[in-house]
Amino acid sequence: MLTKDIIDNFKNLSILCIGDIMLDKFYYGDVERISPEAPVPVFQIKNEKLMLGGTGNVIANLASLNIKTKYVGVTGDDEAGILIEHFLKKANCKYTLLKQKNYNTTTKNRMIASNNHLLRADKEDFLIFDDAKIQKFANTVEKEIKDVDIVLVSDYKKGLLTENTTQIIINLCKKYGKKVLVDPKERDFFKYRNADIVKPNLKEFELVSGKKFNTSDNDFKIKIKNSAVEVMNKYNISNLLITLSKDGMIFISQDKDPIQISAEAKEVFDVSGAGDTSLAVLGAALALGEDIADAMKLANLASGIVVGKLGTACVSPEELAEAIDRANGIHKLSQKSKIITLKEAVEKAKELKAKNKIIGFTNGCFDVLHLGHIHSFAGAKDVCDVLFVGINSDKSVKNVKGEKFPLQNEKTRSYVVASLEFVDYVVLFDENTAMNVVEQLRPDVIAKEGYKIQDWPEAQKVISYGGRAVELERIEDYSVTSILKKLDKMPIA
């Protein structure tokens, strides 16, 4: 059975990635009018995000899982190339870039409004390799391949992975006993011949095999295996792993029955980079010696996580561990995953806003939870999609209320609040007020009972940048003070 131990063992791996690297730029904004210059929408940019793309997304996913990575590839001697180096360093990737003059590093610019891709504008050149560059590439790959656990080859058809260079990689893997896993893009698998595993999607496999397949057919497995065996024999490929989108993936080898697993049902925001995540996690699991069925399950879980995020994204160890628990039928209380740092909250809010979600915020000490608090949380949740709750830390409560408080420590208070269905995320803060949280989180709406907007600095801040403040109705006779007074009057049993 697949267990979370595999995630802890990732840190012991070293993986070499080779393939086309690129820079992904995501521009998030709104479209509210048509241009007077031409019948086209006017896209107003609100924020932007830059990250590694192509093989770089494979590297980013490996790094996110604490796996040591190496990369061999090509960029131009341009600004995009410099940014790629920056992100590789940030990912702690040991890299060798064969920089080319007068070559545009591939850059993909995506415009996204209200969770919809409006346009993608690419800047790129097709890479031309001469004999001298090929020899330098071969020498570099041979140097880096010796002490890694597996080699992942990611082909985006930008020119790096020619028949010559791809065969150099595969032959060196054979020479040094390294398994090689290829994510292809060609309609002809000749350049991937002799690979251990080639991982096309169903459309790519249909182009190579020249046949169409329907995953709902009763004899789907038989048909696709017969065609897969023909392809493997033709190109001397040991195994094929074919991804089937919403239908999961299927592994086919010469002498065994096909292994097919289903995809997880997910709300899909964006499939960008899901194949890269699958390649990274599959390769890592195989490098640890996991059997192919468990490696596929893990890759499938990871892909299911990233398709729920906007833009090319990575899977974290925590997310993958929770997914493994769910897959194994272990349904843990979700409080811990709801309690996050302010930095995590800021990133989460940005991601949710890009999905057009309304971010709400309320705050307090919540020392002894009562009906007034529940009513307040319910009211705050009514005016937003995702509710963040700020909670004063123990230090903060003592500063505000005195040394006798809090009655319950911050961990207990956080867990109790996080248990409520109205609450999506909990953030602890040390300051006397929640102003710092509001300034960084920038919620769309702030809601609280017992405060008038004119006397409420956090509300004034939210209004100042275009947000909304809501005065919630207060339920009388419910407060920590009234509860303590009642306890004082109770006889001791």
- Enumerate the active-site residues: 276
The three-state DSSP-derived secondary structure of 222-239 is HHHHHHHHHHHHHHCCCE
How far is the C-alpha of 407 from the C-alpha of 59, rounded, in Å? 47
Sequence-distant (6+) residues with CB within 8 A of 485 are none
Q: How many other C-beta atoms can be found within 10 angstroms of the C-beta atom of residue 490?
A: 7
Strand ranges (DSSP E) for 432-481?
A: 445-449, 468-472
| Residue type at position 98 | L
The answer to whether residues 280 and 152 touch, using CB atoms and an 8 Å cutoff, is yes
Q: Tokens 């867990």 label which residue? A: 415
Q: Left if phi > 0, otherwise alpha if psi is -120 to 50, otherwise beta: which for 116?
A: beta
| Per-residue burial over 94-112, b = 16 or more CB atoms within 10 Å of its CB, e = otherwise | ebebeebeebbbbbbebbb
The answer to whether residues 251 and 232 touch, using CB atoms and an 8 Å cutoff, is no
Q: Tokens 């002894």 label which residue? A: 368
Give, in order, the Cα–Cα distances in Å from 141 to each of 71, 85, 150, 196, 385: 9, 18, 13, 18, 49
Q: Tokens 């990274």 label which residue? A: 280
